[in-house]
Structure 1
């Protein structure tokens, strides 16, 4: 059973979308979750950690815990998960909006991001700074849902659909980086979040098998 995450009040989540030219993350910075089949949900297990030379981030969690029906998750948990995924995209855009300002040697600076997701962000920041790129604009999370959950360890898999049509990647001169716009205004991604006290933080992300929404 899928659990739709409630919309978060206030500003929409902000996010980066990148082309293959920009970074290997590509569509890895666009949430997911528009209408999808059970087959799609089954195709969204927790991803494996990617290799990285960056020290300290914890590897992405694997689905080794006891499976939990997402429909039985407490309302407070569902709300916290939705806030965690939204905070993730806001943190990404804040960092990528000024890559030279981010301290990639201090993982504590990127609150709400850990594991493979943090390693990817650090690698992306390094590439953006080297190329003189930065992100401009905001994106709106159209829909989010919990499609998987485990206990011991506590993890959830979230998919959400994000309108990223306003996002631009620009160079040092403020010109848009060629081929950096997403070909679709909305993109679907898969996030794995882990519990951190009363909050949930993103430990891994990847494009969904069917990224359009």
Structure 2
């Protein structure tokens, strides 16, 4: 008679916990190694050794090194979105809050400039599924910019010119350019946004003082 085997509830829980620990170790190791050597300079074997687990788990958990890097992008984005919402809905004028949102993004992104460089460069060549998921994430961030732009128009802080969505997309482009300049000029977050802000005001139609 054929005998079947199955994990107990405790066994399944233990395996799930081990998987979570292994995933976390791989992510931590990859973040460090990508920052030190760049994406192309790190092998999956090296990541596995640094994490203390088999490198074959990278394929099982992340569908390869590219998927591992994408998870780092998502790990950066998820907590930022929560804090972005808090700032965007906080105190002050819409433009004050917009300044604080951009400053918060810069503080997060410039905390480790090398990681920012790696993630930005790889975002141009990742797969369609990663792009689809990341586009949804970008849309969520952009929604807060759109809400602030609409509020700034309604309160008379900026004129109504192009659509709020178009201006929010343009702001994303400006921000990306601003972070590139911040990395190469070794700017602190406050200085980076102060340098960027006149361009933000110009594309929003704010008249020079």
TM more than 0.5: no
TM-score by length of 2: 0.26
User: Rg: which structure is higher?
Assistant: 2
RCO higher in structure (CA 8 A, sep ≥6): 1
TM-score by length of 1: 0.25
Which structure has more helix as a fraction of its residues?
2
Which structure has more strand as a fraction of its residues?
1
